[in-house]
Amino acid sequence: MKQELIKLIDLSRCTACRGCQVACKQWNELPASETHNFGSYQNPPDLEWNTWTLIRFQEYVDAQGRLQWLFRKDGCMHCTDAGCVKVCPTQALFHTEFGTVALNTDKCIGCKLCIFACPFNVPRFDEETKKISKCDLCQSRLQAGQPPACVLSCPTGALQIGAKDAMLAAAHRRVRELGGDASVYGEQFVEGTHVVYVLPEKAEVFEKLPAKPEIPTSIMVWKDILKPAGLLAAGTVVAGAFLHYITHGPKNPEEEINQEGGTQI
Amino acid sequence: MNKVMIKATGPFERIVHWCLAISCLILCASGMVMMYHSLQGFGTLVGGMAAVKTIHNYSGVFFAVSLFLALLVWWKEAGMFSSPEDWQWFKVAGGYLWKVDQMPEIGKYNPGQKLFFLTIVIFGTGMVVSGFFMWFPLGYEPGLIRFMYVLHALGFVIIFAFFWVHLYLVTLGAPGSASAMFTGWVSKGWARTQHPKWLREMEEKGTLVVYGKKGQSGRHC
């Protein structure tokens, strides 16, 4: 691994200008979708195959009855223990030298397994290309030593990218500054995400943000137990059959001599 | 060949068996190429992993149809256990594990075969249903789809293991069996050893067809 990077999203500094959303589309050549007004500035309403990052707008009334307008930049969290990488049958989804999770679309067969293995509900299916689509943290830019498009576009410093330790230290520093219910979100889950939030409120407060993200148990049962069990069971049977043959031997029929003229062979 | 050969299966039965077998083998092979990363190289043989997925999906349809036909063909004979001989057969492990003096009187299908048939029916249906959801997963509860993944993997573990049992018995374990699914004829001695009740019943009813015997047609379904 070259250097493990973390993108830090300090939501206390986010003004929801959506510059990151536009910069992402521009750099990754993702077209806009025709959407409709559903009574929120949030647009499009959810992540899409062509919207890898999205500012979620949320009206939240806290315990003291104060109305707050919360913004959250949603997108791939680039897990270390990534459910999508775990289930991908063709290794189209893979960990990069930066610890992030990128996608080789040439290898993607559109099986959609990753959609259901992701604890953050991130991967989207493109009906036209029949392939999965998601943020790769601007892998081409990282390789060129450039920050991702979203980070570059951010006017308030809510987005930063840097070495893992430095970013985590900055995140904790900021949380101490903010006090109250502020917390660092990401390093404690799925062996550490490579996108880390500074949340100004408790994680539970934010819509569509799992309080305890983890790879679903069913996915673990499938990949960690049943997958090896398939080979183990078959191997046991083959070994058992061999053992049976050399100890007990086959069950030979008691051939009768053909009364109509045949003989036992 | 001087053994007395008797008719065991009809052509339709054999066709259904091989449709089921071939689709099952294609599904196992293509499924494993997608399940185990080290087998990915085999995907190149058919033009890449996307082709493997396509083959897997459509073989699944072929399998589903074959399974339905298999159900029609064998349900009556292999779908239900008969008392008491089937239970006695289990008690002596079919005579496969230790020396048995008196083998229970077994009909056309022994309980092991019945168990195999029921396993294929139950887990095969599970594979068809879960496979359908895996093919078209969008729009359903994620928990449901994830359950289907587990079911599909479990079905594979069971069916793949059973396949080897089936293969061993029909080749090395119980010689003389395989011809039932190739030519349709088995030796009378084999039938007497493996399925005495079936042989006796056919003799009593006069439905036994012996190869080359005059006055009897060699065809029946």
Indicate the residue of B34, B35, B164 with minimum beta-carbon distance to A237. B164
- What would you measure as the largest C-alpha separation in chain A, in angstroms? 102
Distances, alpha carbon B2 to alpha carbons A30, A258, A259, B187, in Å: 75, 7, 10, 10
Residue B212 has a pLDDT of 81
Judged by a CB distance cut-off of 8 A, whether residue B106 touches chain A is: no
Best A91, A108, A232, A237 member to test B by mutation, with max B CBs in 10 Å, is A237
The Cα of A225 is separated from the nearest Cα of chain B by a number of Å equal to 10
Judged by a CB distance cut-off of 8 A, whether residue A106 touches chain B is: no
Best A116, A243, A246, A248 member to test B by mutation, with max B CBs in 10 Å, is A116
Nearest chain A residue to B138, by CA: A112
The Cα of B111 is separated from the nearest Cα of chain A by a number of Å equal to 16
Q: Can you say whether residue B33 is alpha, beta or left, with left for phi > 0 and alpha for psi between -120 and 50 degrees?
A: alpha
Judged by a CB distance cut-off of 8 A, whether residue B143 touches chain A is: yes
Per-position b or e across B184-206, b if 16+ CB within 10 A of its CB: bbbbbbbbbbbbbebbeebeeee
Residue A218 has a pLDDT of 97
Which residues touch A154 (CB under 8 Å, ≥6 apart)? A19, A20
Residue B82 has a pLDDT of 83
Give every residue of chain A whose pLDDT is below 50, as ranges.
Answer: 261-265
Question: Per-residue confidence of chain B (221 residues) as pLDDT tens digits?
Answer: 478 899 999 999 999 999 999 999 999 999 999 999 999 999 999 999 999 999 999 999 999 999 999 999 999 889 888 888 889 888 888 888 887 777 788 889 999 999 999 999 999 999 999 999 999 999 999 999 999 999 999 999 999 999 999 999 999 999 999 999 999 999 998 998 889 899 999 999 989 999 887 555 544 44
Cβ within 8 Å, pair A229-B4? no
Residue B218 has a pLDDT of 47
Which residues touch A56 (CB under 8 Å, ≥6 apart)? A42, A70, A71, A72, A73, A74, A206, A207, A208
Residue B221 has a pLDDT of 43
Tell me the sheet residues that pair with A163. A5
The DSSP-derived string for B121-184 is HHHHHHHHHHHHHHHS-TTS-HHHHHHHHHHHHHHHHHHHHHHHHHHHIIIIISTT-THHHHTS
Judged by a CB distance cut-off of 8 A, whether residue A234 touches chain B is: yes
Q: Which helix (H) or strand (E) holds B6?
A: strand B5-7
Residue B100 has a pLDDT of 79
Cβ within 8 Å, pair A226-B153? yes
Residue A129 has a pLDDT of 97
Query: Any idea what the Cα angle at residue B26 is, between residues B20 and B31, rounded to 5°?
Result: 120
Both structure tokens of B97: 């594990």
Q: Are strands A54-61 and A131-133 parallel, antiparallel or unpaired?
A: unpaired
Judged by a CB distance cut-off of 8 A, whether residue B157 touches chain A is: yes
Contacts of B96 in chain A (CB under 8 A): 244, 248, 251
Cis preceding-peptide flag for B84 (omega within 30 of 0): yes
A 10-29 → B contacts, CB under 8 A: none
Residue A21 has a pLDDT of 97
Among candidate residues B5, B8, B59, B3, the one with its CA nearest the CA of residue B181 = B8
pTM listed for this prediction: 0.92
